A and B are shown apart, each in its own frame.
Chain A
Amino acid sequence: SQELEQSPQSLIVQEGKNLTINCTSSKTLYGLYWYKQKYGEGLIFLMMLQKGGEEKSHEKITAKLDEKKQQSSLHITASQPSHAGIYLCGADKGDGNNRLAFGKGNQVVVIP
């Protein structure tokens, strides 16, 4: 079964600093989704990457997909307290049934 490893598990950064979190798959990535979750709340969709080398940005968040490494990275520039939360990556299992496997999350804390 497909496994997604997210690193680092938790990260504390000072407001204004940049940060990068990673999601590495044990199998070929057919589609990679990034979500953000406030503790105990629902998941908010951030970005979807489907092609190797693809890079997308939204406000201060940039996500990239490295197909060869079977890895995606999420970079936040000039972090703010609003960026705090748990970031989850989900990968399409590739069985044609829109099923996603999820990593366990990266917990991000931003200190004012």
Chain B
Amino acid sequence: EAQVTQNPRYLITVTGKKLTVTCSQNMNHEYMSWYRQDPGLGLRQIYYSMNVEVTDKGDVPEGYKVSRKEKRNFPLILESPSPNQTSLYFCASSPTGTGGHEQYFGPGTRLTVT
């Protein structure tokens, strides 16, 4: 089944403890992206990747890192999480980075930082 998977689905952590949220897609998509969704602010892009080894900042990249060493994986790294990073996170992928294609979204990771 074609899908985007994220792990973990739920995570509660403490301020400053490094964490990684994994994202994997099995559709051989070139483009991958991370979003966060917050009440009243909607969905905002954190980072995106046009292809392997190519990543760029989205609208809210502060406090996050990403890497794209393989086509299928695009982990999101929080080096020192803070409470304002409590949010619902979505990974998405698309066949290409040139637009004109839907983005396929993962099921979401609900992160709470205390």
Contact = CB atoms under 8 A, between A and B. Distances in A.
Contacts of A82: none
A30 B40 CA distance: 25
Contacts of B48: 97-99
Given A45-B104, A88-B43, A105-B42, A98 B97 contact: yes
B90 interface: yes
Contacts, number: 66
For A45, A97, A104, the residue with the greatest tally of chain B CB atoms inside 10 Å of its CB is A97
Given A103-B42, A104-B42, A96 B108 contact: no
User: Per DSSP, are chain A's interface residues mostly helix, strand or loop, or mixed?
Assistant: loop
Nearest to A46: B102
Given A48-B102, A99-B58, A104-B41, A40 B88 contact: yes
Interface of A: 1, 30-31, 33, 35, 40-45, 48, 50, 88, 90, 92, 96-100, 102-105
Interface of B: 31, 33, 40-45, 48, 50, 56, 58-59, 88, 90, 92, 94, 96-108, 110
